A and B are shown apart, each in its own frame.
Chain A
Amino acid sequence: MNAILKNHRCRRLPLCLILCLAWLSASSSSRAEDLVPLPITNGPPVFIGTPPNNKPDPNIDVNTNRPHFPAPAGVTNVALHKKVTSSVTNAAPEDLAKITDGEKNSSDEDNVVILHRGVQWVQIDLGSTQEIFAIVVWHAYDKIKVYHDVVVQVADGPDFTAAQNVRTLFNNDVENKASLGIGTNREYFETNEGKLVDAKGAKARYVRLYSNGSTGGTFNEYTEVEVYGRPAK
């Protein structure tokens, strides 16, 4: 048994090396002669029996106890009760207002705003230019899920045009589905802590957040968005 386990790494190594070398060599454009793929076949995967009906992933901690985020004294949630608009033109203003009403309990369906499928955004008008240190977004965290193509931007004007000094603070749209550039941030699990985006003191009046459905469904959902900042000097 020990011998079998000891060989585990050894067995895996040549296969991986061969696969990758084969790939690299196949990708190479300089070939001295015509090459054909080696007739290598993989061993079978390891069969397993019926897995447990529900095995929560130990790597997913819905109470992650995020470390304190340092910010200057006096910084508050400047988005509270501020006007929210959306790319979903028929979304009722009273529904969108829930995004900045201070209620962030996703288990209460009344707190969750549901928007159409596809790439959609919500936008918060902070009323005046603010020095922003952090933006925290809670989509629906009623169960563990991952929202796709999340992009957080700030701008000086409401149209987010190039002339309005648009800055992207977070982007995990790695396929550029929102056409805002290829994202470099990772997808993340939705939790009750919300996702904190470091705004690094950016000065802006408007905050816009994009998403494109989630692993839990095609709709876009928001429970709350908080913007921590102070009036810009």
Chain B
Amino acid sequence: MTKGFSLWLLLAALLALGLRTVQLDSRPMHNDEAVNAIKFRNLWDGAGYRYDPVEFHGPTLAYSTLVWEKLTLAGNFARFSEARLRSLTALFGVGLVLLLFLVSDGLGPKATLAAALLTAVSPVMVYYSRDYIHETLFVFFSFLALASGWRYCQTAKIAWILLTGAAFGLMQATKETFIFNIAAVMGALLLNEWLRPPAPATPLDKKLFNPAHLAAAALVWLAVAALLFSSFFSNPAGLLDAARTYLIWFQRVKGASPHIHEWSFYWERLLFFHRAGGPIWSEALILLLAVGAGIAAFGRRQLPGASRPLVRFILLYTVILAAIYTALPYKTPWSALGFWHGAILLAGVGASALTAGLMGRRLKIAAGIILATGAAQLAVQAWQSAINSRYSADPRNPWVYSQTLPNLLELTAKVDAVAAASPDDRHLPISVIAPDSDYWPLPWYLRRYNAAGFFENVPGFSKFLPAEIQDVDAFVKKVRANSDPVSKFLLESGLTNNLDAAHPANGGPAYLESILVTNLNRIITGPSIYDSNRFQQVHLHPETGELLRQNPRGQDLIRLNRWLLEDAYPAELGADHLPAEPYPPLTILSARLEPDVDPDKAGIMTGLYELRPGVWLELYVQSNLWSTYLQHRAK
């Protein structure tokens, strides 16, 4: 390769670096980024890493971050920034450009440079290189496997196939979807061999793929994967989990997920995406050029400087991978990166073939200008989607998915301001309460608060939860016996309504439990159930008697009703008589839980904030702290 080639490749890498690292904190942390960050905190703080086969993908992100943060002499995790974490994935995104050097003799120099430019500016590649998630690492390791495999085919040196083995191990330890890449590689190799015209074997061919090389590569693959999944042998169960995860993900892929989308999900985003009030987004140029490369790969025309088998392999690999992802019902937009990177490599070849195939210098220059303009337009789109704060978290952007809205930063800024006014500052107790733990990325933004707690229910929440009933059958039996005034009251109040629907065919005991709890909660959230005649035979717990004397309302009344029932059926319902937990000075609450809030105790509701489209949080501050904050602000 010439000096000029290396220089142009370096320039493309610099362009990629610029687009991937400018204003890395321009959009709020995504749910998944924050989860990855907080999981990494355990590793950084010395608590180790443990692979979870259910969710959150593989260990390479955490360990790569560890290496990167050690190299860059990062300090206390509380001082980490979004930009610091995202810079890791950004560098892997730049690495995708530099890796092209390894396949430049297979794609041809012009095609390699065109692919480098398109990798640098592709909006989807830029967007997710700036996200602290696994995807860019995964694509990097996939390309490393392909590129080192190509080098092995060119040299038959064992080092290259060992690197291929290591890359496969890293892929496996990054994302469970690596099995799709393996399927695509195998399919492409077989089809490519089948399509290849017969030719006498060269001396190099005879050296390739000897069993010792293959066995060594397989060993390296397994060793790398085992090392990472077992957390460097500190968690042997990780090895089993690495296999068990596929059973779990298989269920998810079959449809038990909120991320089920129709076949066109990726293609709409890649080729033509428009939402009312937003611009039109399209990377169709890349697909057009890739199609051109595909036609050239199977046509008679020469591919300038390119290896036809390699181009055909990339084409087949990309088509198979794209078909798999298109057919799978489970889709998240970042999953497009794998096959789209293949398309970008082909687009480089397509661009080179197009300019080479044109007759005459003027036509070639015109084609070059058109392609350069197209690439510039992609760069502008990349800027708009990934960097420009107007669209980087806006649902009108094709790559914004379950993204945290900037409004959340106003909430965290308010929390910081209120805490700064408090003498407790970073020790201020904060409760974040949301059903289904839907409060991410707040654990990231509240990482400096050592007294922040995360809960599912409001303080003083007293409704029954299904698992809290000690003995469902005995309770139903006792009530149905109708032998005491409380049971009579419960029957008249409809406690046993719909219970007969809980036939085993309809879900059996769990269904029965849920109906019973629904009915119970309907009763205890109504008016006071206390009546002196009704509870004459019931021995009331001292705590119940005390609460009764207070003539409570709101959540306290619900608790009183519950305690009364617990006193009447202590063996069946259990009786713990826990006092209501107090509200902390500052509460961040899901708006879904507002009906459960006791406004007298929660404090002043100081604002509503949108976490994600349609998901709202309320900020409550105790009145004394709010007054302190206002006085502090007035100064």
Contact = CB atoms under 8 A, between A and B. Distances in A.
A174 B629 CA distance: 11
Interface in B424-468: 424, 427-429, 431-432, 436-440, 442-443, 450-457, 459, 461, 465-468
Interface string B575-603: 01011011011000011111100000000
B606 interface: yes
Contact of B424 (A23, A44, A59): A23
A31 interface: no
B35 interface: yes
A215 B407 contact: yes
B427 A37 contact: yes
A175 B593 CA distance: 24
A39 to B, nearest CB: 10
A60 interface: yes
A90 interface: no
A187 B431 contact: no
A6 to B, nearest CB: 6
A36 to B, nearest CB: 11
Interface in A9-65: 9-10, 12-13, 15-17, 19-20, 22-23, 26-27, 37, 40-42, 44-60
A20 B258 CA distance: 37
Contact of B630 (A49, A54, A59, A176): A176
A5 B465 contact: yes
Contacts of A215: 407, 608-610
B551 to A, nearest CB: 24
Of the four ranges (under 10, 10 to 19, 20 to 34, 35 or more), the interface on chain A belongs to: 35 or more
Contact of A60 (B32, B52, B459, B616): B616
Given A5-B468, A37-B427, A174-B604, A51 B453 contact: no
Nearest to A148: B607
A57 B616 contact: yes
B187 to A, nearest CB: 28
B614 A51 contact: no
Interface string A173-194: 0111000001000111100000
A130 B31 CA distance: 52
A48 to B, nearest CB: 5
A152 interface: no
A119 B227 CA distance: 59
Contacts of B584: 16, 19-20, 23
A188 B594 CA distance: 12
Given A17-B581, A27-B423, A57-B615, A186 B605 contact: yes
Contacts of B42: 44
Nearest to B55: A49
Given A174-B626, A187-B605, A42 B592 contact: no
B401 interface: yes
A49 B581 CA distance: 29
B437 A52 contact: no
B423 A26 contact: yes
Contacts of B442: 45
Classify the interface of chain A: helix, strand, loop or mixed.
loop
Nearest to B57: A49
A145 interface: yes
A151 B39 CA distance: 44
B612 interface: yes
B49 to A, nearest CB: 13
B55 A42 contact: no
Contacts of B455: 12
Q: Pick from A23, A41, A52, A58 the residue with the most CB of B within 10 Å.
A: A23
Contacts of B440: 45, 48, 51
Interface in B95-142: none
Given A47-B55, A49-B55, A1 B467 contact: yes
A47 B615 contact: no
B259 interface: yes
A146 interface: yes
B597 to A, nearest CB: 11
B467 A2 contact: yes
A42 B438 contact: no
Given A47-B39, A55-B612, A187-B605, A13 B578 contact: yes
Interface string A152-182: 0000000000000000000000111000001
B490 interface: no
A140 to B, nearest CB: 13
A47 B591 contact: no
A41 B45 CA distance: 13
A182 B332 contact: no
A144 interface: yes
Nearest to A187: B608
A8 interface: yes
A182 B630 contact: yes
Given A186-B605, A187-B605, A50 B610 contact: no
A42 B453 contact: yes
15 contacts: A5-B467, A13-B579, A16-B431, A26-B424, A41-B450, A45-B454, A48-B31, A48-B55, A48-B437, A51-B31, A52-B258, A56-B613, A56-B614, A59-B594, A215-B610
Nearest 9 Cβ contacts at the A-B interface: A5-B467, A19-B429, A56-B614, A52-B258, A45-B454, A46-B437, A16-B581, A45-B443, A146-B608
Given A26-B427, A59-B616, A174-B626, 4 more contacts: A5-B465, A49-B56, A52-B259, A182-B630
Interface of B: 31-32, 35, 38-39, 42, 52, 55-56, 258-259, 332, 395, 401-402, 407, 423-424, 427-429, 431-432, 436-440, 442-443, 450-457, 459, 461, 465-468, 574, 576, 578-579, 581-582, 584-585, 590-595, 604-610, 612-616, 626, 630, 633
Interface of A: 1-2, 5-6, 8-10, 12-13, 15-17, 19-20, 22-23, 26-27, 37, 40-42, 44-60, 144-146, 148, 174-176, 182, 186-189, 215
